[in-house]
Structure 1
């Protein structure tokens, strides 16, 4: 008998649930700001990082904000570099501060990190310099590059390296033409289309 009573209670709770469901929707209707806020949160820079990453960035921000005013200024950057035992010129510090469209508060710093991490802000010079470090007489040893890609930084898996190598021309001795690789990586979409048409 006890089992039948439990089933009846579960059934009555299930029957009540649909009647309760519209109540939150009605509350949302009265507060359209809440629903708009939820829609916007997808573009929120904080949603791009895990809570652990945000905490780490916050800690780094606090270390860099030497005067504790909530903004990283040129003087804050200079002091940070001094604490690290590195010298930075005025031009370098100005360039760093000017990367942001306004004062560098914590949200702005996260936005800069997000842009860097998305890969969209790698200048061609950075790509060229990176691959020139592997260059020997105009060629890159594909096995040395494979080892590097799978060992340091954002490590590639073997499949990811294979996928990348499928896009490259590797000669029968296992070497990649440095200039062709750089051209492939730095060419705009229009240049690539022109190259394919030729």
Structure 2
């Protein structure tokens, strides 16, 4: 008789387990709601795919650059972070320039937003010459670039140069006796054209 009661209780538990659970209201816990495989894929597609535009190595380099620019380490690059970054490379930026840079983003500049800005630039905004010009203009100080500062940047960030690669590159540059590189000559050498449009 005890066996029959155990079997009966077991049968009731199995029936309860097989019955579909009621769906919670949409506001409760949407992440735990049952869904089909198709809707899971749709949810994945609806998110940002900016990370798929870059290799893992590129994302790591962007992350390193982001952390260097995020001076207050709050996960957002703000005006003070930009100002400190420009100060670090020895370039003064006006309030207007800082505000223009920040206004390029559709919201606060977190890491994903920064990647989105780079992706937008790469997908049609700037050509390679514009990127080269802009990169070297960030090092420019009254028409010259501090050779030691450029050397440090080349061996420290991004696709790092070896000491030999830096020496080979510096042999082609116009450098004065104080170690300063002529910015316009460098840009002209790298782009193959004078920078008439930029001035």
TM-score (norm 1): 0.45
TM-score by length of 2: 0.45
